[in-house]
Amino acid sequence: MGLSSVKLSEDHRQLMLSIGDAIAAHTTKSPMTLQAIVGVLGFCTGAAICRGTRSERSRRDLRELAVGNVDSGMSAMAQTLPGTSLVIPGMN
């Protein structure tokens, strides 16, 4: 599976915002470290991949997609972090 950059649909954008809102709401009540948040998101990603696929090949392809998206997100945030309103524990 080749990785490619695509424009996000409105559904994707809304889901990403909803996940961010849920994390923000939860961590204001129960503070978590960045490592804990990343760990939870990683676990959920792995569980979704395993739950949604049957073959090892499909799992590998989706894992590759997830890793590519992590790299893409890191790159995007590195470029925009100073101007973003995203709240990351320990980076305020």
Q: What is the pTM of this model?
A: 0.72
Domain ranges in the chain are 32-82
| pLDDT over 80 (residue 76) | no
What are the φ and ψ backbone dihedral angles of 5, each rounded to 5 degrees?
-95, 130
CA 92/CA 88 separation, integer angstroms: 7
Reported as a single tens digit per residue, the pLDDT across 2-25 is 445 567 789 988 898 899 889 888
Reported as a single tens digit per residue, the pLDDT across 22-56 is 988 898 899 888 899 999 999 999 999 999 999 99
| Residues 6 or more apart in contact with residue 73 via CB below 8 angstroms | none
Predicted local confidence at residue 1, as pLDDT: 45
What are the b/e assignments for 61-79, b being 16+ CB within 10 Å?
Answer: ebbebbeeeeeeeeeeeee
Please, are residues 89 and 33 in contact by the beta-carbon 8 Å criterion? yes
